[in-house]
Amino acid sequence: MLGGISLWQLAIILVIVVLLFGTKKLRNLGGDVGGAVKGFKKAMNDEPKEDAKLENDAEFTAADDAEVKEKAKEEPKADK
C-alpha cells in the first residue's frame, strides 16, 4: 500500500506533524490552502469569458480598420 508505507507509519507521521506544528497552525494552513484552491478554480472559470471578450474586441478592431481604409480610399487627397 502506498509504495511500502503502512497505515501505522502514516499515523505516526501524522502524530509527529501535529505535535510539531499544533492544531491551530494546521487549521490555518488548511484554510489558506482551501482559499488558494477556491481562487484558482474561480480564475479558471473566468478565463474563457475573458478570452471570448478579447476575440470579440479583435473582430471589431479588424472591421474598424477595414472601414477606415475604405473611407481613406474614397476621400480625395488634398494637394499641398
Give residue-wise pLDDT tens across range 33-49: 999 999 999 988 877 66
Does some domain include residue 27? yes
Mean pLDDT of the chain: 79
What is the span of the domain harbouring residue 39? 22-74
Provide mean pLDDT across the span 46-67.
66
Cβ contact 18:26 at 8 Å: yes
Region of 29 on the Ramachandran plot (φ > 0 left; ψ -120 to 50 alpha; else beta): alpha
80 located within any domain: no
Report how many domains make up the chain: 1
**Within-domain flag for 79:** no
Residue at grid coordinates 477606415: 68
State yes or no: pLDDT of 76 exceeds 70. no
Residue 72 pLDDT: 72
Is residue 15 included in any domain, yes or no?
no
